[in-house]
Chains A and B, each alone.
Chain A
Amino acid sequence: MAWRIGLHLGDVFAEATARRDGESRQGRWFLPQSSLGKGLKQFCEANGITEIEQFNVSHKIVPQIMQRRLGASPAFLVTSGFENWLEMNLPVQPEQFSLTPRKGPSPIDRDLVFGLSERVSATGRVEKAVDMQELEFLVSKLQMLNIKQLAVGLLHAQKNPTNEQMVADFFRQKGFRVFSAIELAGHLPCEEKQRWWTAYLDAFLTPVYEEMWKTVETQIREVGPDAKVIDFAQSVPERGQEMNSVLAGVFSTAWSLYRGARKTESKKVLYCGIEDFYLLHLDREPSAQWNSNYGTVRLTVPPVLALSVQPDLRISKGFWGCASFDEQRLGFEPGPMCFGKGLHPCFLDVLFAEGHLDSATALQDRLVTKTRARIIETLSAYSRDETSPVDFQKLPQHVLDLALLQLTLAIDDEVGRISLSLQGPLASSLLSPLKSRLGPQLRLGDDEGFVLSRGLVEE
């Protein structure tokens, strides 16, 4: 009988669970050292896996495209008078008053936003029909600019889709790839900003996603040429009738976690991954809205919360003149200092310096022992302006305590006194420090750290 393989591709770690008729095999590898194809081949060979029927894949392609702004700005057609509407509603940074405030980063290219002189009223009446000449003119303009995809969002299209449908059909006939807000939003009522973001982001992500996914698929097929390769986020049953959209990939990791942890006895799970920490509410239903960095977006999302403390949360010198956390995540290129290449300390580094990663088997070949002294040196440099006496050897513990405080408060807020299961490769590292703060409600889950990929092959 053939195997089904659940494969999670993180930023730098890949994790696999293979399942066949009651048998299960698991593995993890470091992508910078062993590429997807090579690592997968070694995993299969080591576990005697020869016949594969299906790969279910979760990945971080979509978040990576968004973070690095790799997407391709589409043309964006909206009701005239509202060309700046999405941008105007972007969240403001920083939260404190500053003389250089800015809106959150936006993928919208203002030069490619076009207002259409059409209007549907709040009652659904077409006050102004679409002007076909205007559309013809736009076609020429977009062809000149070599724009191949466009997003369309018109006011009150959910009340009366006539105008938006007409525009979408027209541009499709002209050979453009069209992402229509009402088509992607489905039947769930939502306001225009939510729908427009869904369409725009999907249009922004899709071309680059398709290229990157093709690369992934090609490497996987070298190992399983006859197997089906499925992008898991596109096929999650909880998404229901929602139209397939690349945007769903934002939650690819979260969906696989949600599926993997579903059978846990506790209804609350703290996932302690190497790259991410999540809090799962297994007693809640998925939501129809994503509270993103751009505002609220119409998208079905799992009841999974990304915590403010993350493994790669950066440590820097704060207002108080000592090493503490800021809000930035370092990512994994080059990664934490304890992996040997990173230049700035992060949460994983203080966990390492305090010995809490000794039990993390997933990381043992990654950790470089001699970096402990360098981590302490760097934390000391950040604390050089301290006027009160501080033992520099205790700095990692102090910084760790701050992170644990934040984690404890966030968990308490969300979970209260309800029993909480810790799962994931770093669960055993965090159990003891968190238990001393949160009490006996914490227990270790039994997944051996592979809950992510396990979720991809769960029945």
Chain B
Amino acid sequence: MSGSYPFVELQVFCQELLSPCSAAAVLTPEGQTVFLKYQTLADIGTLPMAVQTSHKYLQIEDGDIVVTNDPYSGGSILSSVTLVMGVQPLRSVNRKAAALLLAQRISFKPRLNLSDSVEGEGLRIPPTPLRKDQKMNAELLEIIGAHPQAPEKFKESLQEAMVQLLRMREKIRNFSETLNLDWSKPALKKFFQRSQQLVRERLSEVAVGEAQFEMPIDDKSKIRLRMEVSEQKVLFDFSGTDAASQFHLTDAATFGACTGALLAAIGGGIPLNSGVFDAIEVLSPSGSLVNAKYPRPVFSGMTDGAAMVANLVLKVFGLIDSKRQFAMSGISQCSFQLDFGPNSWFFETLETGSAASDGTQGTPGLSVWRRTRLNPSVEEIENRYPITLKTYAYRANSGGGGAYGGGDGVVKSVRVDQAGRLKWMITEPLLKPEGVQGGKSASPAEIFLQIPGEEKQRLHLKGEMDLPAGSIVTLHSAGGGGYGAED
């Protein structure tokens, strides 16, 4: 093949290879990303980091598998577990060293634990070998699976995922030779160079310049972002960002948020690999809320916090290039949980409304920055938990008005039919999801509680409390901002 076709072929191969996975990546042992598939903003930065950290400390060889969920080793939230496997693509090469690293991220049902430390959020697994020298460490898997904080069906799911990884390894080995796939360093160097060149061409369509904005998160903390767009790269400088806040992100998650927002802003179809990443630089002060250090809790940061950073990127982008002013989508997934015992907990999130843009209405109940969705069956939920779902619907008139209206958020209302404990976490910046060019802001997220015999009350954004049977919890997610002035 000539021209760019070897690159297209490599991309098509990786796409097909990883098609059974929701979030996965192929990297070189040197830490370069060949292909990445994501579900969340955090995945974009943390998946490569998980692979790099695991390989750095454990020297993963062909056929070895490592497990981790540690946010400070490249993990995301603790219920997302990453498996990393070494692959030697060529059967003819009799070497144990891996020439490729394959990563797959498995998402379990989260468990909401409000804590000031990541250790209180759940079971943290640093990079740990699960398969070495072709032997599975079944005992270790059993021990982790039996931990009281281990996700449900942990052992079975990981076993299934490992089988899938081994199948993918076989596929790489089978097809690398028959299809002459070139994984060598010189070939991949050209692949990255071409990607970088193409993403720079996209950047050249954007106005060159610099701008800065400070987004207050609450009355104690803010994120400051200075963006510099040149024809060669985009710099995201978070100097001046505060330390403590409602949420914390690792630097890898912040990189993911910036990259995801930038690529969405300059148009789709851009593959994620190191060639593209090299056009992006993120400076995040150590210890700040965008580069949090152990043992800061991360659940809120990896979810709502990443969305807030992405919105901030769009805001500053619009200040640099006035032709690209974007209304803001809602950010908080409004996580809430009802506990009915050690093995019975109902966890749920809400989609927000997406912002409108020039010529397009926002979409109700569609979070711009999330591709994971729970939404199981109402009947299955009610069969399984002592609750009655009263409403799962769009939240009327919650999108910002405008020539093009923002998308409505969602309302979910749940009655507990047995006493339980409620936990909830909503992240809302002081600024509502803004409209632009005359469009109106959307309604923010909120949570209400009606205890039998009492008045309906609006709750704080975060907390936990015991509920008697008959209580009704109602959550409203934020809408998206509107675009343009209404006639």
Question: Which residues from chain A sit less than 8 Å from chain B, CB to CB?
Answer: 81-85, 87-89, 92, 94-103, 121-122, 155-156, 191-193, 318-322, 324, 383, 386-391, 394, 398, 401-402, 405-406, 408-410, 412-413, 437
Cβ of B17 < 8 Å from any Cβ of A? yes
Cβ of B185 < 8 Å from any Cβ of A? no
For A102, give the chain B residue with the smallest CB separation. Answer: B363
A191 and B377 within 8 A (CB) = yes
A409 and B17 within 8 A (CB) = yes
Within the complex, the shortest CB–CB distance from A341 to chain B, in Å, comes to 28
B380 and A191 within 8 A (CB) = yes
Give the distance in Å from the alpha carbon of A81 to the alpha carbon of B382 in the complex: 15
B2 and A389 within 8 A (CB) = yes
Contacts of B392 in A (CB 8 A): 81-82, 84-85, 88
Bitwise interface map of B from 337 to 368 toward A, beta carbon under 8 Å scored 1, else 0: 00000000000000100110100100111101
Residue from B7, B17, B174, B366 in contact with A320 in the complex, judged by beta carbons closer than 8 Å: B7
Closest 10 CB pairs of A and B: A390-B3, A191-B377, A81-B391, A122-B382, A409-B16, A320-B4, A97-B264, A398-B5, A390-B2, A84-B393
For residues 244 through 291 of chain B, which have their beta carbon under 8 Å from a beta carbon of chain A?
260-261, 263-265, 268-271
Q: A387-B197, A409-B17 are in contact. Are A322 and B5 (CB under 8 A)?
A: yes
Q: List 14 A-B contacts (CB under 8 A).
A: A81-B389, A82-B378, A85-B378, A87-B365, A88-B375, A97-B41, A102-B363, A320-B198, A322-B8, A324-B8, A386-B4, A388-B3, A390-B5, A412-B175
Give the distance in Å from the alpha carbon of A103 to the alpha carbon of B354 in the complex: 11
Q: Which of B17, B41, B366, B380 has the most CB of A within 10 A?
A: B366
For A437, give the chain B residue with the smallest CB separation. Answer: B178
Residue from A81, A401, A409 in contact with B171 in the complex, judged by beta carbons closer than 8 Å: A409
Interface size class of B (residues with CB under 8 A): 35 or more
Question: Which residues from chain B sit less than 8 Å from chain A, CB to CB?
Answer: 1-5, 7-9, 11-13, 16-17, 19-20, 41, 171, 174-175, 178-179, 194, 197-198, 260-261, 263-265, 268-271, 314, 326, 351, 354-355, 357, 360, 363-366, 368-369, 371, 373, 375, 377-380, 382-383, 388-394, 410, 413
A401 and B16 within 8 A (CB) = no
Within the complex, the shortest CB–CB distance from A277 to chain B, in Å, comes to 15
Q: Which of A89, A96, A324, A398 has the most CB of B within 10 A?
A: A96
A401 and B5 within 8 A (CB) = yes
Residue from A96, A320, A390, A408 in contact with B268 in the complex, judged by beta carbons closer than 8 Å: A96
A100 and B360 within 8 A (CB) = yes
Contacts of A81 in B (CB 8 A): 389-393, 413
B3 and A322 within 8 A (CB) = yes
Give the distance in Å from the alpha carbon of A191 to the alpha carbon of B384 in the complex: 13
Contacts of A386 in B (CB 8 A): 3-4
Within the complex, the shortest CB–CB distance from A254 to chain B, in Å, comes to 21
Contacts of A412 in B (CB 8 A): 171, 174-175
Contacts of B41 in A (CB 8 A): 97
Q: A121-B388, A320-B194 are in contact. Are A192 and B377 (CB under 8 A)?
A: yes
Chain A residues touching B, majority SS: loop
Contacts of A401 in B (CB 8 A): 1, 5, 9
Contacts of A406 in B (CB 8 A): 12, 16
For A388, give the chain B residue with the smallest CB separation. Answer: B3
A92 and B371 within 8 A (CB) = yes
A437 and B394 within 8 A (CB) = no
Give the distance in Å from the alpha carbon of A396 to the alpha carbon of B293 in the complex: 53
Within the complex, the shortest CB–CB distance from B483 to chain A, in Å, comes to 11
Contacts of A98 in B (CB 8 A): 264, 268, 368
Q: Which of B8, B357, B363, B368 has the most CB of A within 10 A?
A: B8
Give the distance in Å from the alpha carbon of A96 to the alpha carbon of B370 in the complex: 10
Q: A101-B354, A394-B2 are in contact. Are A96 and B8 (CB under 8 A)?
A: no
For B365, give the chain A residue with the smallest CB separation. Answer: A88
Residue from A84, A193, A319, A409 in contact with B198 in the complex, judged by beta carbons closer than 8 Å: A319
Within the complex, the shortest CB–CB distance from B157 to chain A, in Å, comes to 20
With A103-B363, A401-B9 known, 14 other A-B pairs at CB within 8 A are A84-B392, A84-B394, A85-B392, A88-B351, A88-B375, A89-B373, A99-B265, A122-B388, A319-B271, A322-B5, A388-B4, A390-B3, A405-B179, A413-B19
For B388, give the chain A residue with the smallest CB separation. Answer: A121
Contacts of A388 in B (CB 8 A): 2-4, 194
Give the distance in Å from the alpha carbon of A379 to the alpha carbon of B5 in the complex: 13
A437 and B179 within 8 A (CB) = yes
B365 and A84 within 8 A (CB) = yes
Contacts of B373 in A (CB 8 A): 89, 92
A405 and B4 within 8 A (CB) = no
Contacts of A92 in B (CB 8 A): 366, 371, 373
Q: Which of A88, A406, A437 has the most CB of B within 10 A?
A: A88
Give the distance in Å from the alpha carbon of A148 to the alpha carbon of B282 in the complex: 59
Give the distance in Å from the alpha carbon of A89 to the alpha carbon of B175 in the complex: 37
Give the distance in Å from the alpha carbon of A390 to the alpha carbon of B2 in the complex: 5
Within the complex, the shortest CB–CB distance from B473 to chain A, in Å, comes to 14
A88 and B268 within 8 A (CB) = no
Contacts of B382 in A (CB 8 A): 121-122, 155-156
A321 and B198 within 8 A (CB) = yes
Give the distance in Å from the alpha carbon of A95 to the alpha carbon of B271 in the complex: 12
A88 and B357 within 8 A (CB) = no
B8 and A402 within 8 A (CB) = yes
Residue from A96, A121, A156, A398 in contact with B3 in the complex, judged by beta carbons closer than 8 Å: A398
For B383, give the chain A residue with the smallest CB separation. Answer: A122
Q: A85-B393, A398-B3 are in contact. Are A155 and B378 (CB under 8 A)?
A: yes
B4 and A101 within 8 A (CB) = no
B4 and A322 within 8 A (CB) = yes
Give the distance in Å from the alpha carbon of A191 to the alpha carbon of B379 in the complex: 6
B3 and A383 within 8 A (CB) = yes
Residue from B19, B198, B363, B378 in contact with A192 in the complex, judged by beta carbons closer than 8 Å: B378
Contacts of A88 in B (CB 8 A): 351, 365, 375, 392-394, 410
A97 and B394 within 8 A (CB) = no
Give the distance in Å from the alpha carbon of A94 to the alpha carbon of B357 in the complex: 16
Residue from A100, A318, A391 in contact with B269 in the complex, judged by beta carbons closer than 8 Å: A318
B379 and A192 within 8 A (CB) = yes
Q: A88-B365, A99-B326, A321-B198 are in contact. Are A122 and B379 (CB under 8 A)?
A: yes
Give the distance in Å from the alpha carbon of A387 to the alpha carbon of B4 in the complex: 8
Contacts of A95 in B (CB 8 A): 371
